[in-house]
Amino acid sequence: MKKLYLILGGLSAIALIIYALIPNREFRESLYPISESTIVSTYDDQSDGGTSSAGLSIVDSTLLFKCKLHNNQDKPAWCGLIWDLDPEGKKNYQNWTFVDSLILNISSQNINEIIIKVWTFDPDVTNPEKKNSFRPLIKEWVLKGGVERIAIPMEALYIPTFWYEQNNVDKKLKQKHQETVARFEITPGWNVSRDLEFSISIQSIEVKGLSNLAFGVILFFFLVIVSIAIGFRQKNKK
């Protein structure tokens, strides 16, 4: 019995040493500065008859997004900044399974709220030909104005109710599908002032996270060892 405990203790010590030597599996992806496999662009409502205007430029290595929403309160107005993570349409989506945070370093003027959107491919729902069928994960964020660092937990992003209704999807299907991220988007908040140009200067945007796979394996290993030890102890009592 003592020999068994010594063997199990030795295996546990070896497992702890291996775990300590395994490098952290950190995931980090830069959305700005932009990678070669990403396209960033703006959009507005002019193609649908609106008069809002959006523009994008790079000033001193900073991505500068400007927009002015039209002032016709009888019509919806929109604009936005979007990252296409699969510009060739080959379903080479980004795997953000281990992402737990979105980090934005920005400065803003004349805007008090933005909406962050992460669009994912849902194999049960998404038709790649219909952009709105991708699953949106969104989070509203109040801006202080001026320079600020924003850290948004991925778990804070939610799937809006209207998406389920527009796509006739059962609300029980709540999986976010972070393993297939197709687009990232920044839009003005729901109640941003119209007929007033606002700007967002982006110094950097990155997503990052840490895999707990190694910890899970070690935990499972120790559970097995404990089970073996308890099993032998009960067997010897009989």
CATH fold of 27-210: Jelly Rolls (2.60.120)
Across the chain, mean pLDDT equals 87
pTM for the whole thing?
0.80
Read off the amino acid at residue 109. Answer: Q
What is d(CA 170, CA 86) in angstroms, rounded to the nearest whole number? 27
Chain segment 89-99, per-residue pLDDT in tens: 899 999 999 89
Rounded alpha-carbon distances, angstroms, from residue 193 to 51, 108, 110, 149: 15, 14, 8, 23
Chain segment 18-45, per-residue pLDDT in tens: 555 555 567 889 999 987 778 999 999 9
Chain segment 185-235, per-residue pLDDT in tens: 999 999 899 999 999 999 999 999 976 555 555 556 556 666 666 666 655
Longest dimension (CA), the chain: 84
Neighbours of 54 (CB within 10 A): 20
Rounded alpha-carbon distances, angstroms, from residue 63 to 21, 79, 138, 199: 40, 16, 22, 10
114: tokens are: 């933005």
What is d(CA 52, CA 79) in angstroms, rounded to the nearest whole number? 7
How much is the pLDDT for 10? 63
The rounded percent of the chain whose pLDDT value lies above 90 is 69
Q: Are 109 and 198 in contact (CB under 8 A)?
A: yes
